[in-house]
């Protein structure tokens, strides 16, 4: 609800399986056009239909890409944020993004020089 207030055009959010509950699914369906909330364990017919929908599958694939990016940031120092407040957190995330990009650029330059 807070994210929807802050970003009114938000239409889709993807969660991990651990967030699934009937109440969460119900609330998300009211707030968003597409709620990507996979269920743990055996799926009922309705859950299977919902999770086999092309939009659900497309969003789940994007979720995997985001998880990969988060892992890359954690590998570049964003595993714990010692700074306080939202400004400190934003600064820390920005520095981790810069570190990740510098690492990528370094790999590109090394590859180019070896050729």
pLDDT of 111 reads 94
Name every residue whose Cβ is closer than 8 Å to that of residue 69 and which is 6 or more positions away in sequence. none
Mean pLDDT (whole number) for 15-43:
86
pLDDT per residue over 71-107, tens digit each?
877 877 777 777 788 888 888 888 888 888 898 899 9
Q: How many other C-beta atoms are found inside a 10 Å radius of the C-beta of residue 86? A: 8
Share the mean pLDDT of the chain: 85
The confidence score (pLDDT) of residue 33 equals 83
pLDDT of 106: 94
pLDDT attached to residue 109: 96
Q: What is the distance between the alpha carbons of residues 101 and 107, in angstroms, rounded to a whole number? A: 10
């Amino acid at each position: 609800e807070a994210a929807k207030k802050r970003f009114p055009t938000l239409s889709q959010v993807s969660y991990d399986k651990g967030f699934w509950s009937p109440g969460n699914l119900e609330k998300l369906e009211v707030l968003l056009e597409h709620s990507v909330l996979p269920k743990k364990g055996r799926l009922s017919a309705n859950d299977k239909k919902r999770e086999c929908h092309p939009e659900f599958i497309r969003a789940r694939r994007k979720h995997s890409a985001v998880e990969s990016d988060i892992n890359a940031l954690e590998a570049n120092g964003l595993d714990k944020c010692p700074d306080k407040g939202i400004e400190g957190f934003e600064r820390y995330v920005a520095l981790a993004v810069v570190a990740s990009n510098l690492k990528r650029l370094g790999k590109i330059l090394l590859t180019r020089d070896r050729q």
